[in-house]
Structure 1
Amino acid sequence: MKEIKIESTLYLYDSLDELPSDVAMLMEKAIEARKQAYAPYSEFYVGAALLLDNNKIITGNNQENASYPAGLCAERTAIFYASSQYPNATILKMAITAGSKNNQTTTPVPPCGSCRQAIAEYEIKQHTPIEIYFMGETGKIAKSGSLANLLPLVFDKTML
């Protein structure tokens, strides 16, 4: 037997004021998107914003449905829209913010597993890492240099 150690590295910013100006603006767009989320069942609101290499900013928010599997997370809403409207654009950065109606979310909330897999598909497709910044409603913001950092044992087309 051989042990294999897998590590991830995150960088933490104490507040929006510490972020580079382009990332702070992107996070503000994600916050605006979060406020428009449709989450009547979970009351957990998520917003995402993408910066593309053509300087377009795409936002998305979670859209719930009484038939729970029919809903869609903010990250996938944004990434699928970006791909459908700008199929040749590269996603440079993603900002995510999440908050609950029931309690204040003050710790960074990363993408869920389904979103990680979807983001991985685009990171692999474009052969370029996507910087991912994530936060709660307030508090610290985490930065991952790539999705591969958040999902190191990615399932991709090479396994099919």
Structure 2
Amino acid sequence: MKDIKIETTLTVFETINELPDDMAALMQKAIDIRLKAYAPYSNFLVGAALLLDNGKVITGNNQENASYPSGLCAERTAIYYAGSQFPDAKIVKMALSAGPKAKGTAVPIPPCGACRQAISEYEVKQELPIDIYFMGTTGKVVRSKSLENLLPLGFDRSFL
């Protein structure tokens, strides 16, 4: 028997103002689209903005449904749109902003498990890590240079 140690490194920025200009602009798009989310049941709004290698920016937000499992998270809304409209483009960077509608939160909120799996699929497909930045509604921004930092030992097509 042996133990396996898994480590991850994340970078924390105190505010959006500390981000490089291009990343701050992408995060602002995530914030703006978050405010347009359709979340009448949870009142938890999420916005995602993707930068593709072709220079296109794709945004998405969460879309709820009275039948809860029928809704879709912001990350997957944006990723699947990018995949359908630009199938050969690679996702270079991803910005996420999330939090309750009635009150803000300064706690950075990472992608949920289902979204981590979807992001992982695209990292494997494109053979390029996705630079992921996430925040609450205000405050600190966390950067992960790859989804692998957020989902070690991920499940991918190599297991099929």
TM-score surpassing 0.5?
yes
Unaligned 5+ residue runs, structure 1?
none
Q: Secondary structure at the match of 2:42?
A: coil
Aligned counterpart, 2:32: 32
Q: Which residue of structure 1 lines up, in the alignment, with residue 4 of structure 2?
A: 4
TM-score using structure 2 length:
0.98
TM-score between both structures, scaled by the size of structure 1: 0.98
CA distance in 1, matches of 2:124, 2:141: 25
Distance of 1:101 and 1:29 partners within structure 2? 17
For 1:29 and 1:159, locate their aligned partners in 2 and report how far apart those are by CA, in whole Å. Answer: 36
What is the identity percentage for the equivalent residue pairs of Structure 1 and Structure 2? 67
Q: How many matched pairs?
A: 160
Counterpart CA distance in 2 for 1:80 and 1:8 is: 27
- What root-mean-square deviation, in Å, do the aligned CA atoms of Structure 1 and Structure 2 show? 0.7
Give the Cα separation in 1 of the matches to 2:118 and 2:17: 30
Partner AA of 2:87 in structure 1 = P
1:143 aligns with 2:138: no
**SS in structure 2 at match of 1:23:** helix
- What displacement does 1:154 show? 0.5
Residues 90-135 of structure 1: CA distance to partner in whole angstroms, max 9, x if unpaired?
Answer: 1000000001024321110000000000000000000000000000
Identify the residue that residue 66 of structure 1 maps to in structure 2: 66
Post-superposition Cα deviations, 1:40-89, rounded to whole Å, max 9, x if no partner, equal 01000000000000100000000000000100000000000000000000
Counterpart position of 1:125: 125
Segments ≥4 residues shifted beyond 6 Å: none
Q: Is 95-104 or 149-158 further displaced after alignment? A: 95-104
